[in-house]
Structure 1
Amino acid sequence: MPDEHGDATVVVPVGPRAEHLPEQLRALARQVTDRPLHVILACNGCPPATARSLVADTWQGPHTIEIIDAAEMSGPSYARNSGWRRSSSPTVLFCDADDIVASGWAQGLLTALGRADLVGGTLEHDTLSGLVRTSWGATGSCSLPRKFRYLPFIPSGTLGARRAALEALGGFDVGLHRGEDVDLSWRAQQHGMRVERAPAAVVHVRRRSGARALFAQAWADARSDAVLLARHRPHGAHWAIHDLVREAAGVAVAAAEAVVSADGRTKLASRSGRFAGHACTIGALARAARRR
């Protein structure tokens, strides 16, 4: 078990766009915890000088903060790995620079880490969506998400880990441009580690704005799925052509909802992007699905 009397590190990868970072910094500074937090901003595209300026303008609170240059390799996985390896804390928490953590987020993850190796909080989609209420609701409040009819996984935007687990797994795979959090969660479970949810650890997620941005994000995520499936198919991940048919049906439903609601138009952009990404890589997905 992690040392409950030691500190905990929060790693925040900071990419080229840091316009929302001040809001996240204020939220992290206000965290109410039973132990000190040390926040590490791992700059991967954002100049460290810019991060230092934002910290000077916004950081107030009992917790400490550090800025590191993590730009030797591009991508959030490298930044997250640089951050947790910089620390010596027995527990490490991860969140994103453009979201906003609730005041009890860190404590929710820390409490859950008393009984598991990796834990995932709740991603709440409504508060920052610009809409009064959406059907996106919250991810992780009742159960962790799943993919390819396989094991649950923890999104990296609200992930807590024991340091020993990260060391045993080698951290995030920097060779994966997408789905690295899915891969980490699955590898942990394949190694017999315990993965649980921490529903009290809430993060208010800032979704991409505009249909084009939502489509592009879903498309890019879907195009990377063949690599993830090929890696984990021998362990039990599954994909078949009827999954693509099911996605097409979901696009049709969202198209009907888009006529009458903004929420429907948002879902249509994401669902159609995912369907298009899978459709244009159907050959790679099929080959990965046959892999033994």
Structure 2
Amino acid sequence: MSDLPRPVPELSVVIPAYDAVETLPTQLEALLAQRPDWPWEVLVADNGSNDATTGLVRSWASTRMPELRLVDASARRGPSAARNLGVAAARGPRIAFCDADDRVGDGWVEAMRRALDEHEFVAGPFEGALLNAGSRSAVSWTAQAHGLTVKPFLPQFVTAGSGNMGVLTAVFEEVGGFDEGARTAEDDDFCLRVQLHGHALEFDPAIVLHVRRRDGLWDVCKQAYSYGGGERRLLHRYAEFVAEAQTSSAETGETPSTGAAAARDRSGAGQGPSRVGRVAAKAAALLRRGGRVAGRAVRKAATVRHPGDLSDVAWRVCWSLGWSLTRVDPATPQVSRSRPRSLQGDLRR
């Protein structure tokens, strides 16, 4: 065995994992099939799995994939913590994220490296057909299929999913990584803070990821509810910037979008004539939104032809319930330009 030091990887691929023994081999096979001719590494950040995930990674690293490393990311729980601990163990100047239940597309490794040679922060499209052909009741749509996402209440920013994202290590460290207080929408939060630090998020269509959707109505509902709650928390954290978007809209004479108007009501960013008036406006906004969601769900339910249609309805309803019913912890830190430390990751860790 050589005692020579291993070369510094040019790209570090970080995969957060929890009880992923059934799906992780698909991801590792896809990465192994496109091994580059330059130094790289793949780090599986295991977040305290109860199944055989760690044994699987050790076996692959010793017999098939020497560039693979297992990172014990069990000290802090959650996807944000797993990614942060994975990056802390990484050695490369470029970081690429993918998830343990998805599959990177052909040429993903080279495309990610090229993109990070040109840009500081990148994301690519999600493809939803390959891994979901046999799904019984997954939703019928795929997010981020053709471009970046714009939040209705934060139109001045773009966001992307962390399952297909790349960033320079220096930029990741500058913003303090992912917010470990978030269980969902942590990737949106990360994207917002990177942009507030002055780094643009660029979309590269060559960086394709095949995503695996949740299959089963109950799993769809749980995920949708948690995503709605994550969005509500995001609204709280970025209330200052929601207010800025509203002010800009008013100055340009544009009509605020429904999402932005609801966000203003929920965040308390608006300046109403009185507390009673603000409460009444908030209640009215919630009722209007609830009525719209219920109406859309009823109309959609009337056209249900297969389980996927029903899952689409369930997603919309449960997401709206998560948004409406989630109560954000008042101690959740808010982000502000006047407090530079608030632009960092979770300061409580």
TM-score range, shorter chain: 0.7 to 0.9
Q: 2:309 aligns with which of 264, 278, 289?
A: 264
Per-residue displacement from partner, 1:245-268 (whole Å, max 9, x unpaired)? 55444423432332x133312211
Moved more, 172-181 or 138-147: 138-147
Q: How does 1:51-62 map to 2 (within 5 A)?
A: 51-54=54-57, 56=59
The number of residues matched between the two structures is 281
Per-residue displacement from partner, 1:44-67 (whole Å, max 9, x unpaired)? 022696423355259876761000
TM-score (norm 1): 0.85
- 2:239 maps to 233
Quick one: which amino acid aligns to residue 306 of structure 2?
Answer: S
- 1:46 maps to 49
Q: Distance in 2 between matches of 1:278 and 1:99?
A: 26
| C-alpha contact (below 8 Å) 2:228/2:322 kept by paired residues | yes
Q: Distance in 2 between matches of 1:92 and 1:48?
A: 27
Q: Distance in 1 between matches of 2:24 and 2:306?
A: 30
Quick one: which amino acid aligns to residue 224 of structure 2?
Answer: A
Pick closer, same or farther for the CA change 1:18–1:249 going to 2, 3 Å.
farther
- 1:72 maps to 75
| C-alpha contact (below 8 Å) 2:161/2:188 kept by paired residues | yes
* 1:112 is the counterpart of 2:112: no
* 1:273 is the counterpart of 2:301: no
Per-residue displacement from partner, 1:207-230 (whole Å, max 9, x unpaired)? 111111101110011123222101
Pick closer, same or farther for the CA change 1:113–1:54 going to 2, 3 Å.
closer
Q: Distance in 2 between matches of 1:42 and 1:265?
A: 35
| C-alpha contact (below 8 Å) 1:26/1:58 kept by paired residues | no
| Residue ranges of structure 1 left out of the alignment (5+ in a row) | none
Q: 1:214 aligns with which of 195, 202, 220?
A: 220
| Residue ranges of structure 2 left out of the alignment (5+ in a row) | 1-7, 246-259, 263-284, 337-349
Q: Distance in 1 between matches of 2:188 and 2:73?
A: 22
Q: Distance in 1 between matches of 2:186 and 2:50?
A: 24
Q: Distance in 1 between matches of 2:110 and 2:54?
A: 25
Q: Distance in 2 between matches of 1:18 and 1:80?
A: 18
- 1:201 maps to 207
- Which is greater in Rg? 2
> Post-superposition shift, 1:114?
2.5
Q: Secondary structure at the match of 1:201?
A: coil
Q: Distance in 2 between matches of 1:59 and 1:107?
A: 24
Q: Distance in 2 between matches of 1:30 and 1:219?
A: 36
Q: Secondary structure at the match of 1:40?
A: strand
* 1:148 is the counterpart of 2:193: no
TM-score (norm 2): 0.72
Moved more, 94-103 or 44-53: 44-53
Q: Secondary structure at the match of 2:151?
A: coil
Moved more, 75-84 or 247-256: 247-256
Q: Distance in 2 between matches of 1:200 and 1:180?
A: 24
| C-alpha contact (below 8 Å) 1:26/1:59 kept by paired residues | no
Q: Percent identity?
A: 31
> Post-superposition shift, 1:127?
1.7
Q: Distance in 1 between matches of 2:66 and 2:303?
A: 45
Per-residue displacement from partner, 1:67-97 (whole Å, max 9, x unpaired)? 0111001111111011111112110001110
Quick one: which amino acid aligns to residue 24 of structure 1?
Answer: Q
Moved more, 54-63 or 5-14: 54-63
Q: Distance in 1 between matches of 2:211 and 2:289?
A: 27
Q: Distance in 2 between matches of 1:73 and 1:44?
A: 8
| C-alpha contact (below 8 Å) 1:8/1:93 kept by paired residues | yes
Q: Distance in 2 between matches of 1:55 and 1:146?
A: 40
| C-alpha contact (below 8 Å) 2:48/2:74 kept by paired residues | yes
Q: Distance in 1 between matches of 2:234 and 2:37?
A: 37
Q: Secondary structure at the match of 1:146?
A: strand
- 2:301 maps to 255
> Post-superposition shift, 1:16?
2.6
| C-alpha contact (below 8 Å) 1:122/1:141 kept by paired residues | yes
Q: Distance in 1 between matches of 2:37 and 2:296?
A: 44
